[in-house]
Amino acid sequence: MKLELTDNQPLADRIRPTTLDQFVGQNHLRERIEAFDRSKRLPSLLLFGPPGCGKSTLAMLLAQSTGRHYMRVSAPEAGIAALRKKLAGMDILILDELHRFSKAQQDFFLPILESGEITLLATTTENPSFSITKQLLSRLHVLRLRSLTKLDLADIAKRATEELEFELEEESINLISSMSGGDGRTLLNLIEYASQLPKDKREPEKLRTILPETIVRGDRDGDSHYELASAMIKSIRGSDPDAALYYLGCLLESGEDPKFITRRLIISAGEDIGLADPYALTMAVSCQQAVEFIGMPEGFIPLSETAVYLALAPKSNTTYAAYHTIKQEIRQN
């Protein structure tokens, strides 16, 4: 299956790599990817990672390298009955957004994977531990992809400017790469936008003010939700106010519920600071009340003040540790 390029084709498709050597990013998986490419039979895979990191592209490259018949569909658009008919004569199925299938729909793949009738190359942005059934997960090799680095994005940006036949200063490319949040698709959208601007508007300072605003991506039910919150608390625990404020900003700008954040701040005040500064707990509880009273977006003011206060406060977890010692003693005796 070969895509015919047209003027209306998205830039992402026009510069999509045609060989694994051209694939950008995911250096931590290179050895495994090359091993799959060399194997006589490609196993069924689940490519798990954030949007725009190359999951579908990698799946297509692996499928193409086998020389076998394959098709690509998106789970939200594919009903099981229609999919069953389309699979006739196909060896490999590339299925985007597997997590959008219900558990009952995911069960459809169990017998055909077990028999080797089809090889499944599925992609998901959701943690497979929660979104994919254990039975299906046990039949798939999971590859966890990461967001693209700035160097990866700069590489893609240069290829995009060559395809669009326009010049962009290296500083402008670095700016757009920074704004893309590790998402190659976002990067290409911004590059395409910049290509339509007059040449004098493509200078870094001017470009900074006229590029479309990119939305900071958050996942209130996924891994990033907990990873950012954990990073904020670890920054407080490590007495790093700059980092605590940064991760607070990441949480808020990604749309995190302020109630979740204030709860974590209250816990940190009691667990990490404790009797070293008893006022910290009062401060955190007052922050929760203030945020509920004034709401967002102004709620960032008491949240920021509290996060910095907790980071700068002396630390003591003696009461927290003492209680856990007592609990263990009670349960054992």
Structural domains in the chain, CATH included, are: 11-144 (3.40.50.300), 150-210 (1.10.8), 223-318 (1.20.272.10)
Average pLDDT of the residues in 150-164: 90
H-helix segments, 149-199 = 150-164, 170-179, 184-195
Quote the strand ranges of 63-222, DSSP E.
70-74, 92-96, 119-124, 141-144
Q: 297 preceded by cis ω (within 30°)?
A: yes
Q: How far apart are CA 183 and CA 55, in angstroms?
A: 11
Determine the pLDDT at residue 123: 94
For 302-313, the pLDDT digits (tens) are 999 999 999 999
For 42-101, the pLDDT digits (tens) are 999 999 988 889 999 999 999 999 989 999 998 888 788 888 888 888 999 999 999 888
Q: How far apart are CA 149 and CA 330, in angstroms?
A: 50
For 191-208, the pLDDT digits (tens) are 988 888 888 888 888 887
Q: What residues are paired with 92 via a beta bridge?
A: 70, 119
Does pLDDT of 223 surpass 60? no
Does pLDDT of 214 surpass 70? no
